[in-house]
Amino acid sequence: WSSRDFSWTKNLEVYNKIVFGNHSFRPNQREIINATMSGCDVFVLMPTGGGKSLTYQLPALICAGITLVISPLVSLIQDQIMNLLQTNIPAASLSAGMEWAEQLEILQELSSENSKYKLLYVTPEKVAKSDSLLRHLESLNSRSLLARFVIDEAHCVSQWGHDFRPDYQALGVLKQKFPNIPVLALTATATASVKEDVVQALGLVNCVVFRQSFNRPNLWYSVVPKTNKCLEDIDRFIKENHFDECGIIYCLSRMDCEKVTETLRAFGHKAAFYHSNMDPGKRAFVQKKWSKDEINIICATVAFGMGINKPDVRFVIHHSLPKSIEGYHQECGRAGRDGQRSSCVLYYSYTDYIRVKSMISQGGLGQGHMTTGYNRKASSGRMLESNTENLLRMVSYCENEVDCRRFLQLVHLGEKFDSTNCKNTCDNCSSSKNLIEKDVTLIARQLVELVKLTGERFSSAHIVELYRGSLNQMVKKHRHDTLHLHGAGKHLAKSEASRILHYLVTEDILAEGVRKSDLYGSVSSLLKVNRSKAASLLSGGQTITMRFPSTV
């Protein structure tokens, strides 16, 4: 997509320089623009700050017609529009909070033959719940004035992802009603299964995929056991490494945010809390003080993050267990935007796992921005299953004392990473712990056999339970306790068994897929056997060794 000359190539150069003031394109920008302007559906995975906005704003200027941008938060939309107006690009937005008369005026202006607007930003519920918007789009389309649909934060479409928003699911209607209008889906976070799910739900056809490395070499990752002296530990960590520097501490609940803030203040830090239970004015106030460095430390729930662009965040601390690896990766990604060395420390305890698990099963995910509708749904069936699976992955990440943290995160995001490139920038790579090489061939073979025996229809969590001889409901329901390998791995710790199983996924011997339940269309992950890669392991032609902490 980069080398060919297109009819618009000259225009791209000129507009990029003159309108946007950029000297050149960043990696993939030109390719994405060429693909979407050629009329293809495009899926883009690009880290935050990579320059996703340009990939639709520039085409919006060059193409005839309107570009419809769907973005999850009114505050993000306002930011974007402000930026566009500063560059003299006329853009408008519609959201539920606006006066109807004002909305109508915008829609009418858009429908006029030479509308001043090139971009229209809307929240997803506008598409899901407003017939009048769809009717206007139809009218524009009949006059060839609809250029493209842009779906920002596209991972929100997937229930399997960590930030599902119900209104995003309705966006499939766009491709149904307007099969010829190209869709550009953008996200900074998605596992391979989330990507598949998004592509399916949106109905993208022969979609061109661009993905960039998600490795952030300037971030240092570590996991620390959480004791009841956790706040003292955090205080010491900050004073020793990041005194008077700026950081975020992610907490599980609003109460935690307030408690951590209070304690850190008593220790002499300039801290404030931020959570969804505060009124918007207060939140904006805190965020402003933080951007102006009048407060260094924000203790926040995950409600704090999207659209935060402070370049000099020197540390992101997780005071308790994040709910998924991709969520964790994204939260850490708010540190070190300026490329300077920054720390990501996660305080882990098994007690927190139990706490998060019970929050998930009660439907209170603690995600301040979620609607209650979501929460009710989250506690039911498959949704609960996929949230639990995500959480278990996070636990096995924390309990892994051997493998490179970057490797573990990136593999989860579908990216291969050679851990020698970590260069001791994570706790496991720089650890002086004694590791010994163990032959795990038999265990690996049994795990693969179990996946096969159970018909390739179960999640890794279930396979681990079954292998270790659990008699939980799922095991009983499917009569898996009658399998000869039930309990064959009872000598293994859960973290060991799941580490070996996930290793087989990274080696492509097992593959992870998604399963759709027909009733609600929700998804969960399941393991499959990659026959060709598994053949030599199953026939005894391959040995597998892994490193383990020596127990002496």
Judged by the rule CB under 6 A, the positions of this chain that interact with ligand ADP are: 22, 24-26, 29, 46, 48-54
Phi, psi of 300 (to 5 degrees): -140, 160
Question: Residue 412's binding partner, choosing from ligand ADP, Zn ion, none, with beta-carbon cut-off 5 to 8 A by kind?
Answer: none
361: left (phi over 0), alpha (psi -120 to 50) or beta: alpha
Question: Residue 513's binding partner, choosing from ligand ADP, Zn ion, none, with beta-carbon cut-off 5 to 8 A by kind?
Answer: none
Q: How far is Cα 122 from Cα 222, in angstroms, rounded to an integer?
A: 39
Of 341 and 484, which CB lies nearer to Zn ion in the complex structure? 341
Give residue for tokens 């974007």. Answer: 80
Q: How far is the CB of 59 from ligand ADP (least distance, A)?
A: 14
Q: How far is the CB of 49 from Zn ion (least distance, A)?
A: 22
Question: Residue 54's binding partner, choosing from Zn ion, ligand ADP, none, with beta-carbon cut-off 5 to 8 A by kind?
Answer: ligand ADP
Of 24 and 473, which CB lies nearer to ligand ADP in the complex structure? 24
Contact indicator for 323, 365 with CB cutoff of 8 Å: yes
Question: Residue 25's binding partner, choosing from Zn ion, ligand ADP, none, with beta-carbon cut-off 5 to 8 A by kind?
Answer: ligand ADP
Of 20 and 267, which CB lies nearer to ligand ADP in the complex structure? 20
Q: How far is the CB of 269 from Zn ion (least distance, A)?
A: 29
Buried-exposed string 278-304: b where 16+ CB fall within 10 A, e elsewhere: beeeebeebbeebeeeebbbbbbbbbb
Q: CA dist 283 to 31, 267, 331, Å?
A: 39, 23, 18
Of 51 and 414, which CB lies nearer to ligand ADP in the complex structure? 51
- What is the separation, in whole angstroms, between the first and last Cα of the chain? 55
Sequence-separated (6 or more) residues with CB below 8 Å from residue 536:
542
Sign, CA dihedral 73-78-79-81, equals: positive
Q: How far is the CB of 358 from ligand ADP (least distance, A)?
A: 34
Question: Residue 53's binding partner, choosing from Zn ion, ligand ADP, none, with beta-carbon cut-off 5 to 8 A by kind?
Answer: ligand ADP
Q: How far is the CB of 61 from ligand ADP (least distance, A)?
A: 14
Sign, CA dihedral 373-374-377-378, equals: negative
Q: Is 410 in the site for Zn ion (CB under 5 A)?
A: no
Q: How far is Cα 514 from Cα 383, in angstroms, rounded to an integer?
A: 13
Question: Residue 166's binding partner, choosing from ligand ADP, Zn ion, none, with beta-carbon cut-off 5 to 8 A by kind?
Answer: none
The pair of three-digit structure tokens given for residue 204, joined into one six-digit string: 């993208």
Question: Residue 26's binding partner, choosing from ligand ADP, Zn ion, none, with beta-carbon cut-off 5 to 8 A by kind?
Answer: ligand ADP
Of 103 and 287, which CB lies nearer to ligand ADP in the complex structure? 287
Q: How far is Cα 260 from Cα 276, in angstroms, rounded to an integer?
A: 16
DSSP states along 289-353: HHHTTS--EEEE-TTS-TT---TTEEEEEESS--S-HHHHHHHHTTS-TTSS-EEEEEEE-HHHH
Q: How far is the CB of 303 from ligand ADP (least distance, A)?
A: 19
Residues between 428 and 447 with contacts to Zn ion, criterion CB under 5 A: 429
Q: How far is Cα 176 from Cα 173, in angstroms, rounded to an integer?
A: 5
Question: Residue 307's binding partner, choosing from Zn ion, ligand ADP, none, with beta-carbon cut-off 5 to 8 A by kind?
Answer: none
Radius of gyration of the chain (CA): 25
Number of alpha helices (DSSP H) and beta strands (DSSP E) in the chain? 23, 17
List the one residue from 252, 426, 447, 509 that touches Zn ion (CB under 5 A): 426
Question: Residue 546's binding partner, choosing from ligand ADP, Zn ion, none, with beta-carbon cut-off 5 to 8 A by kind?
Answer: none
Q: How far is the CB of 494 from ligand ADP (least distance, A)?
A: 37
Give the binding range for Zn ion (CB under 5 A) out of 310-318, 418-426, 437-445, 488-496.
Answer: 418-426
Question: Residue 429's binding partner, choosing from Zn ion, ligand ADP, none, with beta-carbon cut-off 5 to 8 A by kind?
Answer: Zn ion
Q: Is 404 in the site for Zn ion (CB under 5 A)?
A: yes
Question: Residue 469's binding partner, choosing from ligand ADP, Zn ion, none, with beta-carbon cut-off 5 to 8 A by kind?
Answer: none
Of 252 and 422, which CB lies nearer to Zn ion in the complex structure? 422
Q: How far is the CB of 328 from Zn ion (least distance, A)?
A: 15
Q: Is 174 in the site for Zn ion (CB under 5 A)?
A: no
Of 31 and 389, which CB lies nearer to ligand ADP in the complex structure? 31
Give the binding range for Zn ion (CB under 5 A) out of 7-15, 35-43, 152-160, 425-433.
Answer: 425-433
Q: How far is Cα 542 from Cα 540, in angstroms, rounded to an integer?
A: 6
Of 68 and 466, which CB lies nearer to ligand ADP in the complex structure? 68
Q: How far is Cα 313 from Cα 443, in angstroms, rounded to an integer?
A: 43
Q: Is 422 in the site for Zn ion (CB under 5 A)?
A: yes
Of 50 and 305, which CB lies nearer to ligand ADP in the complex structure? 50
Q: How far is Cα 73 from Cα 78, in angstroms, rounded to an integer?
A: 9
Q: How far is the CB of 29 from ligand ADP (least distance, A)?
A: 6
Residues that contact Zn ion, how many (by CB under 5 A): 4
Of 46 and 185, which CB lies nearer to ligand ADP in the complex structure? 46
DSSP states along 244-270: T-EEEEE-SSHHHHHHHHHHHHHTT--
Of 31 and 352, which CB lies nearer to ligand ADP in the complex structure? 31
Neighbour tally for 271: CB within 10 Å: 22
Give the binding range for Zn ion (CB under 5 A) out of 244-252, 373-381, 397-405, 467-475.
Answer: 397-405
Question: Residue 22's binding partner, choosing from Zn ion, ligand ADP, none, with beta-carbon cut-off 5 to 8 A by kind?
Answer: ligand ADP
Neighbour tally for 545: CB within 10 Å: 11
Question: Residue 335's binding partner, choosing from ligand ADP, Zn ion, none, with beta-carbon cut-off 5 to 8 A by kind?
Answer: none
Instruction: Give which of 306, 50, 324, 321 is closest to 193, Cα–Cα.
Output: 324
Contact indicator for 50, 212 with CB cutoff of 8 Å: yes
Of 161 and 363, which CB lies nearer to ligand ADP in the complex structure? 161
Q: Which residues bind Zn ion (CB under 5 A)?
A: 404, 422, 426, 429
